[in-house]
Amino acid sequence: MDKKNLNDAISAGYDSWILRDKRNLLIGFSIVMHTPDLSHLLLIAIKKDFQRKGFGSLLLNWCEKKSREKSSGISLEVRSSNDIAISFYKKSNYKCIGIRKNYYRDKNLCEDAFIMEKLFHKCEQNGK
Ligand SMILES: CC(C)(COP(=O)(O)OP(=O)(O)OC[C@H]1O[C@@H](n2cnc3c(N)ncnc32)[C@H](O)[C@@H]1OP(=O)(O)O)[C@@H](O)C(=O)NCCC(=O)NCCS
């Protein structure tokens, strides 16, 4: 998501959350758009110095908690090359359900997106 899309998403009033530390310093943020069937995780990011300390999972759990009030699951797109994010989502029981070919177009470069999804009722059935 580029800066313009980020500003557009915040202006559109999508749910946006910021995670801060005790000194009020920014750790990370996330943006979720809800529709009646699924919520869409548009962005989640943790500042480099704070990565791999569980903050991303904390924020993702929060997004899921808020989305459970409005929809039956979360879907998202992730760059096919973003191995870290793919591992991150898989660890939280997101499944890859499809590919959007050439979804990301930056100047001359195109990249596929994996569509990942977590359906809440399935997690409850599996106790997750
Ligand atoms: C993806 C991202 C949000 C993860 O946040 P995080 O705070 O580092 O994640 P956590 O510490 O909660 O990690 C949870 C799990 O994700 C996986 N994971 C996270 N970072 C990883 C890494 N560098 N390498 C491999 N697996 C990783 C692991 O399974 C990890 O569990 P473990 O530490 O018990 O092995 C963070 O890396 C980030 O901001 N990346 C840049 C932005 C981005 O790509 N966002 C997603 C696309 S919109």
CATH of the domain at 94: 3.40.630.30
The structural domain count of the chain equals 1
Question: Given a cut of 70, is residue 1 above it in pLDDT?
Answer: no
Higher local confidence (pLDDT), 128 or 4? 4
Q: How far apart are CA 84 and CA 13, in angstroms?
A: 28
**For residue 72, what are the contacts with CB-CB under 8 A and spacing of at least 6?**
37, 38, 119, 120, 121
Predicted structure pTM score:
0.93
Tell me how far apart the alpha carbons of residues 84 and 86 are, in angstroms, rounded to a whole number: 5
86 Cβ inside 6 Å of ligand 1: no
Determine the structural domain holding residue 75 and report its residue range: 3-125
Q: Is the CB of 55 under 6 A from ligand 1?
A: yes
Give the model's confidence band at 2: pLDDT under 50 very low, under 70 low, under 90 confident, else very high.
low
Residues 6 or more apart from 85 whose CB is under 8 A from it?
78, 79
Per-residue confidence (pLDDT) for residue 68, from 0 to 100: 95
Pocket test for ligand 1, best of 1, 21, 27, 51 (most atoms within 8 A of CB): 51
Q: Is 91 helix (H, G, I), strand (E, B) or coil?
A: helix
Terminus-to-terminus CA distance in the chain, angstroms? 29
Flag whether pLDDT at 63 surpasses 90: yes
Q: Enumerate the β-bridge partners of residue 46.
A: 28
The percentage of residues in the chain with a pLDDT greater than 90, rounded to a whole number, is: 80
pLDDT band of 30, cuts 50, 70, 90: very high
Place 121 in a pLDDT band, splitting at 50, 70 and 90.
confident
Q: Is the pLDDT of residue 107 over 70?
A: yes
Residue located nearest, by CA, to atom 44 of ligand 1: 85
Compute φ and ψ for 55, nearest 5 degrees.
Answer: -70, -35
Q: What's the rounded Cα separation, in Å, for the pair 62 and 30? A: 10
For 42-62, how does the pLDDT look when each residue is reduced to its tens digit (9 = 90+)? 999 999 999 999 999 999 999
Residue 125 pLDDT exceeds 80:
no
Task: Return mean pLDDT, the chain.
Answer: 93
- Cβ neighbour number for residue 9 with a 10 Å cutoff: 18
Secondary structure class of 42 (helix, strand, coil): strand
